[in-house]
Amino acid sequence: MSQENLDEFKEHKEQVVAGAKAIYNMGLVQFGEGNVSVRVKKADEFFITPSQNDYARMTVDDVVHLKMDGTQISQGKPTSSEYKLHVAIYRARPKVNCVIHTHSPYASMLGLALKEIPVIFEEMVIFLGGPVRRAPYTQSGTDDLGRAALEAMGDTNTCLLTNHAVVACGRDLDKAVKAASLVEKMAMIYWGALQAGHVETVPDDKIDKFKDMFKGLFSTAPRKKAD
Ligand SMILES: [Zn+2]
């Protein structure tokens, strides 16, 4: 492998580490939970956190290079067992360049309670694309998880995974990190409002301009033929 190629991949690995450290430092994952991946554009490949990831100590040498068919290109640590969830999203959404899966606690609680997060802040529409819907339980590591997640996401960039927290995606690393962290913050606020006994949602007829912002800056779903 040439030095030029090594340098090219260094940036992808550094991005995976940066995303992983970010979600770890925000408390969205602990040791061995969740995963972060970054797509290699035009190559049908991506880089992802390893199985049993030690977020506090991880370096670029821990990052795993995979083909979309699951073949591991890199030597060293084995891939996260949940890589198929990432592949499903990359295949369905060409605009996605980063996928993040967390085990964040408030979003997990809502999933267990079979709740979805309605639009309670305008920024949910801008950054996430609207409400955070919920995918029913499917076993981790299977193709079913990706299918269920994509169906729940609809045109948005995130969803809750029942018994399994959150998946978020974005046009780049920063946007995916923002989405994953915003889901948890909204989950926490929604959970608190539910305990207080009332949830005031943003009126449906006031969100159109925020939908336009989402479409311009953050949306990753392919355009529908009807559009
Ligand atoms: Zn998981």
Distance CA 149, CA 143 (A): 10
pLDDT digits (tens, 9 = 90+) for 124-170: 999 999 999 999 999 999 999 999 999 999 999 999 999 999 999 99
- Predicted local distance difference test score (pLDDT) of residue 5: 55
* Angstrom distances, CA of residue 173 to CA of 12, 97, 122, 178: 10, 7, 22, 9
What's the 25 CA to ligand 1 centre distance in angstroms?
A: 17
> Looking at residue 129, what DSSP letter applies?
S
- For residue 85, the CA-to-ligand 1 centroid distance in Å is 10
Smallest CA-to-CA distance from 46 within 21, 75, 70, 17 is with 70
- Ligand 1 centroid to residue 206 C-alpha, Å: 35
pLDDT per residue as tens digits for the range 33-64: 999 999 999 899 999 999 999 999 999 999 99
Global pTM reads 0.95
- Residue 205 CA, ligand 1 centroid: distance in Å: 36
Using the predicted structure, report yes or no on whether residue 80 has a pLDDT greater than 90.
yes
- Domains belonging to the chain, first-starting first, are 3-217 (3.40.225.10)
* Residues that are catalytic: 82
The dihedrals phi and psi of 66, each to the nearest 5 degrees, come to: -125, 150
Bridge partner residues of 161 (DSSP): 135, 165
Contact between residue 189 and residue 104 where contact means Cβ atoms under 8 Å apart: no
For residue 226, count CB atoms less than 10 angstroms from its CB and return exposed for 0-12, middle for 13-18, buried for 19 or more. exposed
Instruction: List the Cα angle 147/226/145 in 5-degree steps.
Output: 5
pLDDT digit string, tens, across residues 176-227: 999 999 999 999 999 999 999 999 999 999 999 999 999 999 999 998 755 4
